[in-house]
Amino acid sequence: MSLLGQRLARLRIARHMTQAEAAVRAGLSRNTAYRLEKGDAGLAIGQVLRYIDAIAPATSLLELLQAEDPALAALEAGEQRKRTRGLSKEELTKLDF
């Protein structure tokens, strides 16, 4: 359940939505949204599905678990570190052990 909660939180963040906004759209309390994102196993599957639909309409539970949403891919790409320039030959020789 914690994997599902992590994916829900990342999808919400990728869609630039606050937890409160997602909860209102899903018809849930903010506390329930918090519990969903923390992976609380005591919640009904219907609440999970409503929350997914509020964050990313037309996204299925399977697609969420497989992390196929384009917003998730964009979030991951933005989180990766990127070099702004290549290393010079001098810098490369300093790093060569």
Q: Could you read off the pLDDT of 13-30 as tens digits, one per residue?
A: 989 999 999 999 999 999
Burial code (b: 16+ CB inside 10 Å, e: under 16) for 17-49 equals bebebbbebbebeeebbbbbbebeeebeeebbe
CATH of the domain at 42: 1.10.260.40
pLDDT of 46 > 80? The answer is yes
Question: Would residue 16 count as lying in a domain?
Answer: yes
pTM: 0.74
Residue 87 lies in a domain: no
Q: Does some domain include residue 53?
A: yes
E strand map for the chain: none
Name the residue range of residue 17's domain: 2-79
**∠ CA 78-65-22, rounded to 5°:** 70
CB of 3 closer than 8 Å to CB of 39: yes
How many domains does the chain divide into?
1
Residue 32 scores a pLDDT above 90: yes
